[in-house]
Amino acid sequence: MSSTAVNKGLVRFRSNLKVARRLWGVIEPTPLACLKELTGRYGFSIAVGDLQLLDGKWYITHAGLLRLSLRRRCAGIRTTAVERFSDSAANRWVFRATVYKNSGSRGFVGYGDADPSNVSSIVHGAEMRIAETRAVNRALRKAYGIGLCSVEELGYLSPAGPPGGKGTAASSAGGNGSHNGQPRLRDRLCLLIRQYNLDPNLVKAYAAHFCGTQTIREASRDLVESFISYLAASAKEDRDGLVCKLNSFAQPAKEMKP
């Protein structure tokens, strides 16, 4: 490997490490070594949303896998629904994806499934697209030898737009859609809630107060993004103080009439 390539890899790793520390604080030795390997071998970038650190483990994102396939000049991806295992009435879907690394490739196959029991409640109704995304992710991971699980394959969090393919309208009307390949704002919020074990309902109430709206859905994307950044910094610096603040938004219990 040339000295130029080594220097570029080192610069890329230092950039990833800087962003990782800003997002997640101190990185333990094991995930740190893994990040160095992932950066050098695949050129992943945390800044553009290729990787997520959850419970001390790295997860690849759908966007990161697609960017990798573009860099490696992937010849094509084909997806089909596996009808015998799917049930549209029950929102249960199974997809098969085949990735062709080059024109002569026989293809790398991956399967993905989704139903209301293994996707986040915020994306119920989008199970078909989630199943297809999971299938593509598995096929891409096989094709390029990536042992990391993808974020979209996790049951508690599956980034996806609202059903019906109206992602653009949803983004402009609630501000919570994806933006330039970055994870959706609501998914980033879910990650923070899970990472710091926060009460989701209290976080929603705090978000609405922070944004000056009745509900978080009515807030603009910029306001929601500012709240998420503020919440992440507060949780990292003083989680106990943040929990205390959140508790102030708890609804008082109604008195029982005799």
Give the whole-angstrom CA distance, residue 60 versus residue 133: 13
Confidence bin at 236 (pLDDT 50/70/90)? confident
Confidence bin at 3 (pLDDT 50/70/90)? low
Q: Please report, rounded to a whole number, the percentage of residues in the chain having pLDDT higher than 90.
A: 46
Give the whole-angstrom CA distance, residue 192 versus residue 232: 7
Q: Could you tell me if 177 and 170 are in contact, meaning their C-beta atoms sit under 8 angstroms apart?
A: yes
Kindly list the domain boundaries of the chain, sorted by start residue.
12-59, 61-165, 179-252
Confidence bin at 119 (pLDDT 50/70/90)? confident
Name all contacts of 124-130 with Cβ < 8 Å and 24+ positions apart: 124/91, 125/91, 125/162, 125/163, 126/160, 126/161, 126/162, 126/163, 127/91, 127/92, 127/93, 128/81, 128/88, 128/91, 128/93, 129/160, 129/161, 129/163, 130/93, 130/158, 130/160
CATH, domain 61-165, list 2.120.10.30, 3.30.160.20, 1.10.800.10, 3.30.390.50:
3.30.160.20
pTM: 0.62
**Tell me, what DSSP letter sits at residue 27?**
P
* Residue 221 pLDDT: 81
Give the whole-angstrom CA distance, residue 176 versus residue 222: 9
Query: Which two structure tokens, joined as six digits, stand for 103?
Result: 């024109």
Which of 133, 63, 79, 69 lies closest to 102 in space, CA to CA? 69
95: three-class secondary structure by DSSP: strand
Give the whole-angstrom CA distance, residue 18 versus residue 68: 21
Tell me the pLDDT tens digit for each residue of 154-213.
875 544 333 333 333 333 334 444 444 445 677 788 888 888 888 888 998 898 888 888
Query: Which two structure tokens, joined as six digits, stand for 72?
Result: 């490696």
Q: Could you tell me if 72 and 105 are in contact, meaning their C-beta atoms sit under 8 angstroms apart?
A: no
Q: In the beta sheet, which residues pair with residue 91?
A: none
